[in-house]
Amino acid sequence: MGRVGQLFRFLWRALDGLRRFLHLLLLLLLFGALALAVRHPLPLVPSKAALVVHLQGRLVEQISGSPFDRSLGLMTGDHEPETLVRDVVDALREASHDDRIRLVVLDTSDLSGGGYAKLRAIAGALQDFRKSGKKVYAYARYTTQEQYYLMAHADRAYIDPTGEITISGFAAYGLYFHDALERLGVTVEVFKVGTHKSFTEPFTRQSMSAEDREQTLGWMTPLWKAYAGGVQSARHLPEGSVDGYVHDAVTLLKAADGDAALLAEQRGLVDGRKSSLEFEREIAALVGEDHSTHSFNAIDHADYLVAVGPESALTRHPAGEVAVLVAAGDIVTGDGGPGQIGADSFAQSLRKARYEDDVKAVVLRIDSGGGSMLASEVIRQEVAALKAAGKPVIASFSSVAASGGYYIAMEADQIWSEPTSITGSIGVFGMTATFERTLDKLGVASDGVATSPLAGAMHPERALAPETREVLQLGVAHAYRDFVGRVAKARNKAPADIEAIAEGRVWIGTEAQKIGLVDRLGGVESAVKAAAVLAKLPAGRYGVSWREKELSWRERVLRELRADGQGLARTVGLLPAPPSIVARALGGAARELRSLGSLDDPRHLYAYCGCDSR
């Protein structure tokens, strides 16, 4: 994969460099003006208000990108918005016992995805908020499947009379490039172990293999059942209601004379149809009118966290703390870039937690499909060292913890998975591309001398020698045996038992527990409590610290500028508009391009799962 990865990295860096160059002057001018302006004051919580939970972009376990990247995106609209799951959960928890917050208004209109496990985490926080006796209201003009899952957990959900709720089920479709590569004369060489290790298939096939089709349906079907069941439970609908809405869509819509909003109300997906003005008036009657905006009294959940943050920071935890380290993104060598898990930087975070006296236990919150085998091993070694030092380690799976994502978790004392987490994918592959046939079409040839068959073997303008192919395949086979053996040892099983469930096969959390890949089902809060129990920390007397990568002084300055700039930009209306449908689609393509470019293992060995549903 080295040559393909280098090509994608070159393309991405070239485009990214051009983008940065064109925006840098604008950024400096705008931030210079904002920095000289009066600092934006801390937001104030009205004495009677609605907490507006506005979910923008993708739900994430960790915000991707450096402060510099996010600052650029803030002012230019070039950075895909992200919403940190724990910010939403924390805001809802604080608001549940805050007398100033009378209700929650849920706005999912700008949510673009992030994975079902993250949706469940926020849905659970909404349910906990409702237990306080306060209500959740939701409104939409048009809602996607993921957006609606959270709307369904409101006490009162409304849709615009001209709106629509789109629920269609889950799908996993991809592009296959074999014929295109053949026409271009590109030779893709694949070395893998695992009948179900399907990441390389788009480069070697023109369609999905039977094995990949089987395993994808194997985790997608229970994922859909969980989605439908969650909606039905939240809306108190009969079993099979969501399936009926999807499979009988044409018949039902005809009966409603094509009125999608009426159909949603008839099927119990919403409580009624209202215009946005009618919805605002209903909320204003409950919390009062904001005379400056002529809407209802409100505070955004991000501003609310800033307002209540100083109060929470004063709490002391004499017994110590559980440190939560988030591993989100592709696993790469070195320090890593935006949205990546850098082996060196993450290993350093683990080592720091090992030597901090206040840290009594560690939770690894993993949201990764893996990546470099070498980088994964660097992190695994630090996890093992942390455990050997006597500090309990709990692995907690978010939406995806597969292949290398599982590799870095297997040494933990316990592995907790969300019921819908995608995990497993115990397999290894290597891939590279050569362009000798492409050059031949142009009348270009490569020739020369070498002192051995392996010398110059990885030059992309030359076909791989038989000896090189054998060396690469032997390396992949050894890495796979090592992967299986380490999992077997960590899980106290025979290698043959792990082999039977490996072969690159992907599992959903509930099935992974049955076959012994995970220990318990539950979210990150359950994992934190389990870590505290293992560390013998007294309930209510320990803290929980979410650890972030340490920033350089320049990044800290940019973060402060970003914080000041965002508040002032919001005030004067400089914030960019939400991304269009086209922009969101291109954002997904950019993420795939970055993932391909992140395949940087020097030995060309990868434990990676491109697991996705949409």
Q: Would residue 87 be called left, alpha or beta, if left means φ above 0 and alpha means ψ between -120 and 50 degrees?
A: alpha
Q: pLDDT (tens digit, 9 = 90+) per residue, 207-231?
A: 999 999 999 999 999 999 999 999 9
Do the domain assignments include residue 360? Answer: yes
Distance CA 84, CA 79 (A): 15
Q: Do 498 and 512 share a structural domain?
A: yes
Residue 424 has pLDDT above 90, yes or no: yes
pLDDT in the model for residue 421: 96
Do the domain assignments include residue 466? Answer: yes
Determine what percent of the chain falls in helix, strand and coil, rounding each to the nearest 5. Answer: 45, 20, 35
Do the domain assignments include residue 182? Answer: no
Do the domain assignments include residue 185? Answer: no
Q: What residues have CB less than 8 Å from 10, skipping those under 6 apart?
A: none
Q: Do 592 and 482 share a structural domain?
A: no
Q: Do 246 and 349 share a structural domain?
A: no
Distance CA 336, CA 378 (A): 13
Do the domain assignments include residue 199? Answer: no
Q: Do 566 and 536 share a structural domain?
A: no
Count the domains in the chain: 2
Q: Do 570 and 472 share a structural domain?
A: no
Task: Give the lowest-confidence range in 37-51, 411-425, 488-502.
Answer: 37-51
The answer to whether the CB of 368 falls within 8 A of the CB of 401 is yes
Element (H, E) at 399: strand 393-402
Query: Which residue type occupies 588?
Result: G
Q: Do 365 and 409 share a structural domain?
A: yes
Q: Do 117 and 27 share a structural domain?
A: yes
* CA-closest candidate to residue 215, choices 503, 416, 420: 503
Residue 297 has pLDDT above 70, yes or no: yes
Q: Do 260 and 398 share a structural domain?
A: no
Q: Which CATH number characterizes residue 336's domain? A: 3.90.226.10
Domain span holding position 320: 315-444+453-547
- Tokens at residue 105, please? 């208004």
Residue 571 has pLDDT above 80, yes or no: no
Radius of gyration of the chain (CA): 26
Do the domain assignments include residue 57? Answer: yes
State the Cα angle at 380 between 404 and 500, rounded to 5°. Answer: 50
Q: Do 291 and 321 share a structural domain?
A: no
Q: pLDDT (tens digit, 9 = 90+) per residue, 107-165?
A: 999 999 889 999 999 999 999 999 999 999 999 999 999 999 999 999 999 999 999 99
Last residue of a domain, one of 519, 547, 575: 547
Q: Do 90 and 160 share a structural domain?
A: yes
Q: Do 457 and 440 share a structural domain?
A: yes
Do the domain assignments include residue 502? Answer: yes
Last residue of a domain, one of 547, 568, 592: 547
User: Could you identify the residue written with the tokens 């990568």?
Assistant: 549
Residue 591 has pLDDT above 90, yes or no: no
Q: Do 123 and 82 share a structural domain?
A: yes
pLDDT in the model for residue 375: 95
pLDDT in the model for residue 569: 43
Distance CA 439, CA 575 (A): 48
Do the domain assignments include residue 392? Answer: yes
Last residue of a domain, one of 521, 547, 573: 547
Q: What is the mean pLDDT of residues 365-376?
A: 95
